[in-house]
Structure formats: structure tokens, C-alpha cells
Amino acid sequence: QVQLVESGGGLVQAGGSLRLSCAASERTLGRYAMGWFRQAPGKERDFVAAITRSADSTYYANSVKGRFTISRDNAKNTVYLQMNSLKPEDTAVYYCAASYYYDSPRATYEYNLWGQGTQVTVSS
């Protein structure tokens, strides 16, 4: 079973930047479409961004479009989420997810592997 491990979260001021990383435990990340989700306290887990297996397409939630960038390096078995112009409303636990069966997954049920999450806190 492939395991996903997120890193790069932390505390940042509004307007700042963070880069999240998601590393896979096996050299098979290229078989999966990948995505990032986030969950704030008391709220549902929301889609943030997704990238296809070959990185030829990316998808974003409207709330992060133009500020966040998802990318992947299949040779390093790692997916990234570059977050710029962060806002307090971006505060949440961010989860990396992998989808074996879908090409451009944007719903939680389309993902079959999840990381443990990394906390991102944006102060005003």
C-alpha cells in the first residue's frame, strides 16, 4: 500500500507563501492522479487542486485559482502545492490524495489514498 506523507505546513502571515510537499513511499506515484484538499475546523474537506498523471492538466478551486499552483515530479515521487498570497481563510489542515481510477478527480470519493495532513495557519 502506497503511503503519502505531507510536509511544509506552518504559520505564515497574510500575503506570505508556503510550499507543501507530498512524498509517496513507493516509486509508483506516476500511476496516480494527485490532488490537494483542505479541511478547516467544523467544515467539510474541500477540493483545492488536482493534477493528472502526466501533469498535462491541472484543476483548481475558484477560491485558490491564480494564487496556488500544483505540480509533480514523478521521478522524485513527489507532488507540490505552491501557495502564494495566502489569506486567513486559507487556514486549514491540507491533505494530499492519490487517485488510481480517475483521470481528473475533484471529489473526495474519487481518491483512494490519503495522507495524514499538514496544518497551515495564516495570521492576519
Q: Are 64 and 48 in contact (CB under 8 A)?
A: yes
What pLDDT shows up at residue 27?
84
35 and 72 Cβ atoms separated by less than 8 Å: no
CB 44 within 8 A of CB 18: no
pLDDT in tens, 56-84: 999 999 999 999 999 999 999 999 999 99
Spatial separation of the C-alpha atoms in residues 121 and 66, rounded to whole Å? 20
In angstroms, the CA 95 to CA 88 distance is: 18
- Predicted pLDDT at 5: 96
